[in-house]
């Protein structure tokens, strides 16, 4: 049978109310891509779960199909979220698909171009906040407590239900959980969801390496960060809503949450691209963490099955590339100029 999306495929495993409809863009079912060169380098079987191949270009679509399907089924007419960008684009797409109004609050000037364009294209009312993601999230929580507008941030439990499906898919492909799961951590909905998914699916449990950006690492520092900064704007979050659960996932899995520098993130992004997988900076944090930990002897990769979750597509944040990669040379439109440049 042709693939019909996550709710159709996994509804029996998701704790969704009976009124939940099925608003789907055929999200999920993303590839688990083997990475032969990285595998050789680290003496392991390394795979990328490429979540950038979801309909709006990030893993957020997994939770959003569930959250919007529930909201519209209960009669909501307007949904709202705070976002560093990907949630905004996803909420906008699924809300429009369901015929709902969507409002997204983003930190002014700190959302990557592809995400902002997506949110607008899909029809959200985009509001820039003169503040951080965390400020935007508090406002969204307040307005949804005081009005009938439905909240679709990952505080919404149905987001977590939907996002569990990524763990199911990994187990289905590998026929068991991997030894390690490495992923970026921002608001901590995703790490919470993966851990819940692996526990529920009972195909074994991975150790979990959650990776924050050094300038936005509240879970590593042990306290909120008032002015989070990082080039990986997707995870520029100082007060993770599900921080406690993220720490629990790390601890229960015998894993940990660490921080990596922006330079390490950009380097991991390049490495992934050099093996054919272009992801946005935040999405490279999982690999950056693995590399950093392995370099200091804290992560024995040898003989392990490792899944690196790449949460969003490189196209989301094109401008970062022109800054960190070489920009294209310009030549006159003639053969001599071409030949002298390529030096064949």
Q: Point out which residues bind ligand AN7 (CB under 6 A).
A: 58, 60, 83-87, 154, 184-191, 234-235, 280, 282-283, 311-312
Taken in order 270, 316, 52, 239, the sign of the CA dihedral is positive
In eight-state DSSP terms, residue 207 is E
Closest separation between CB of residue 332 and ligand AN7, Å? 40
* Dihedral angle, C-alpha 240, 83, 205, 1, nearest 10 °: 160
Closest separation between CB of residue 134 and ligand AN7, Å? 10
Cα separation, 215 vs 227, in Å, equals: 9
Q: Which of 215, 312 has the CB closer to ligand AN7?
A: 312
Q: Which of 107, 178 has the CB closer to ligand AN7?
A: 107
> Strand pairing of 45-50 and 78-82?
unpaired
DSSP bridge partners of 128: 106
Taken in order 266, 282, 30, 23, the sign of the CA dihedral is negative
Q: Which of 162, 186 has the CB closer to ligand AN7?
A: 186
Closest separation between CB of residue 339 and ligand AN7, Å? 41
Q: Which of 60, 239 has the CB closer to ligand AN7?
A: 60
* Dihedral angle, C-alpha 52, 54, 57, 60, nearest 10 °: -100
Closest separation between CB of residue 317 and ligand AN7, Å? 9
Q: Which of 20, 192 has the CB closer to ligand AN7?
A: 192
User: Which tokens in the block code for residue 33?
Assistant: 């891509």
Closest separation between CB of residue 251 and ligand AN7, Å? 17
Closest separation between CB of residue 27 and ligand AN7, Å? 15
Q: Which of 32, 315 has the CB closer to ligand AN7?
A: 315
Of the candidates 344, 216, 208, the one whose C-alpha atom is nearest the C-alpha of residue 286 is: 208
């Amino acid at each position: 049978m042709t693939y019909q999306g996550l709710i159709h495929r996994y509804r029996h495993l998701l704790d969704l109310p009976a009124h939940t409809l099925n608003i789907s863009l055929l999200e999920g079912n993303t590839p688990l891509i083997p990475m032969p060169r990285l595998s050789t380098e680290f003496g392991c079987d390394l795979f990328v779960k490429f979540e950038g191949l979801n309909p709006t270009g990030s893993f957020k679509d997994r939770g959003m199909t569930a959250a919007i399907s529930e909201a519209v089924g209960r009669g909501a007419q307007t949904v709202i979220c705070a976002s560093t960008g990907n949630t905004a684009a996803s909420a906008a797409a699924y809300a429009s698909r369901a015929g709902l109004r969507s409002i997204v609050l983003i930190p002014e000037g700190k959302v990557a171009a592809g995400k902002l364009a997506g949110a607008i294209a899909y029809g959200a009312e985009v509001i820039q906040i003169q503040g951080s993601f965390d400020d935007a999230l508090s406002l969204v929580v307040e307005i949804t407590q005081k009005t009938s507008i439905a909240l679709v941030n990952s505080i919404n439990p149905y987001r977590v239900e939907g996002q569990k499906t990524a763990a199911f898919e990994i187990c289905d492909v590998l026929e068991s959980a991997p030894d390690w799961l490495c992923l970026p951590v921002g608001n901590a909905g995703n790490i919470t969801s993966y851990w819940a998914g692996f526990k529920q699916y009972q195909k074994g449990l991975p150790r979990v390496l959650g990776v924050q950006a050094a300038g936005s690492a509240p879970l590593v520092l042990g306290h909120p960060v008032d002015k989070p900064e990082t080039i990986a704007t997707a995870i520029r979050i100082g007060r993770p809503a599900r921080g406690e659960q993220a720490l629990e996932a790390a601890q229960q899995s015998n894993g940990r949450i660490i921080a990596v520098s922006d330079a390490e993130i950009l380097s991991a992004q390049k490495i992934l691209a050099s093996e054919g997988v272009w992801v946005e900076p935040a999405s490279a944090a999982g690999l950056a963490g693995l590399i950093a930990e392995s370099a200091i002897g804290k992560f024995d990769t040898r003989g392990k099955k490792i899944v690196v979750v790449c949460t969003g597509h490189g196209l989301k944040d094109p401008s970062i590339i022109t800054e960190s990669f070489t920009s294209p040379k310009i030549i006159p439109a003639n053969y001599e100029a071409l030949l002298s440049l390529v030096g064949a």
